[in-house]
Structure 1
Amino acid sequence: MMFLDRLIIELDRALRTLAAPARTARPIPGSELPEPDLDDSQRRHVGALMRINHVGEICAQALYQGQALTCRDPSVRDALRQAAIEETEHLCWTASRIGELGARTSLLNPLWYGGALLAGVSAGLVGDKWNLGFLAETERQVEAHLQGHLDRLPAADQKSWRLLEQMRQDERQHARVAERLGAAELPAPVRAVMRASSSVMTRLAYHV
């Protein structure tokens, strides 16, 4: 494929992630449950948590896109593409729940996307085993982050709980796939930087 053709395809992916409604092949977890009786404060809180998770899925699309662009092994590229498909479903699920809660997505989504794309490209350039290691560590941190959100949900909101729990299980599976393909263990300082960056993102996205 010519460079220009590939560039157009990747730009189209970016625009669809940021501007077009995401789609899902699976039913949205919890969609069959009734809307819980939440007060205004609880509804705003859950909406903000879902906004954070929606930002995470925006970042996941950009991250996998960047990693796939620079990885060398076709099997690794295929694994990244498959993970991106499932993350697109998560993007749809979180956007749908945000709408139900009367909340909004982050105003900084283009910024999050650009930063994650750069991180993905960088991870791919250092080699496939480190690329996979970055994927595995990202998914482990996202799984922990989702568990924290599950613990912070109002007990009555089983719709959001079911959705986030399925996302958590999917992220764990993505990490296991990366490990099976030969992911390297990232150095502790790199893992710490990733956690710090994620903390900044979540605090901003909760409000903005």
Structure 2
Amino acid sequence: MPTARIQTPLDHLLTEAQRALDTVFGSPMAVRPNPAGDTPEAALDPDQVRHAAGLMRINHVGEVCAQGLYFGQAAVARDPATRGHLLAAAQEETDHLSWCADRLHELGSRPSLFNPLWYAGSYTIGTLAGLRGDGWNLGFVVETERQVEAHLDEHLQTLPPADQRSRAILQVMKLDEARHAEHAEHAGARKLPFPIPSAMALASKAMKAVAYRL
């Protein structure tokens, strides 16, 4: 009976490189159907289209960052259960990434030009968080998802009222993010100390300002 091949450091490096390329330059496929489904496209004026596209580009960037964070954290997670939790969450974030990309296309827009930078920075942060230990790793998940929930709430309030396709996507994303945070808390997440949450919020604010336009 053939034995399983032992993964080498080069294998891991190639896996991470492929994940990065798929996220930033590929077209990841969603496992779940797009929540917008058969929701009809509304007639939006040019300013509304521009605003909706800006918000969806921010959310697409958020999912690029989530992929980088989770893959970076999973790469150094010590506990297989923690690694499994991170990779499962990353798969749902892949769904979000695909849905946001679809909506950007429908709005006649494009993803952020800085996606390679967003991914690289997030992967680095995720790796550093993971090296602190699994409790901190999961704590980072909780704080990240709580902040994402907050900005999704903001977007749901500021989307053009007629844009029900974007709204349907964001509502499901918000539910998923809340569940990821709850699972991480139950798995033993540690509360991040000051000033880490504030620094994360500041970085997120800068990212959103850039991604809305570029």
Q: Is TM more than 0.5 here?
A: yes
What is the match of residue 135 of structure 1? 141
How far off is 1:30 after superposition? 1.5
Match of 2:75 among 69, 92, 100: 69
What is the match of residue 191 of structure 1? 197
C-alpha distance in 1 between matches for 2:79 and 2:125 = 19
- Residue type of the partner of 1:74? P
C-alpha distance in 2 between matches for 1:188 and 1:111 = 26
Match of 1:180 among 178, 186, 196: 186
C-alpha distance in 1 between matches for 2:174 and 2:42 = 21
C-alpha distance in 2 between matches for 1:83 and 1:27 = 17
C-alpha distance in 1 between matches for 2:161 and 2:64 = 27
- Residue type of the partner of 1:18? V
What is the match of residue 18 of structure 1? 24
Are 1:169 and 2:175 counterparts? yes
Superimposed CA distance per residue, residues 104-160 of structure 1 (whole angstroms, 9 cap, x where no aligned partner): 110000000010000000000111100000011000100111010000011111111
Q: Which segments of 5 or more consecutive residues in structure 1 lack a partner in the other structure?
A: none
Match of 1:57 among 43, 63, 78: 63
C-alpha distance in 2 between matches for 1:197 and 1:29 = 29
Q: If each structure's helix is expressed as a fraction of its own residues, which one has the higher value?
A: 1
> TM-score of the superposition, structure 2-length normalised?
0.96
C-alpha distance in 1 between matches for 2:195 and 2:23 = 31
> TM-score of the superposition, structure 1-length normalised?
0.99
What is the match of residue 97 of structure 1? 103
Q: Which segments of 5 or more consecutive residues in structure 2 lack a partner in the other structure?
A: 1-6
C-alpha distance in 2 between matches for 1:37 and 1:187 = 46
Superimposed CA distance per residue, residues 58-82 of structure 1 (whole angstroms, 9 cap, x where no aligned partner): 0011101100111101100000000
Identity %: 52
How many correspondences in the alignment?
208
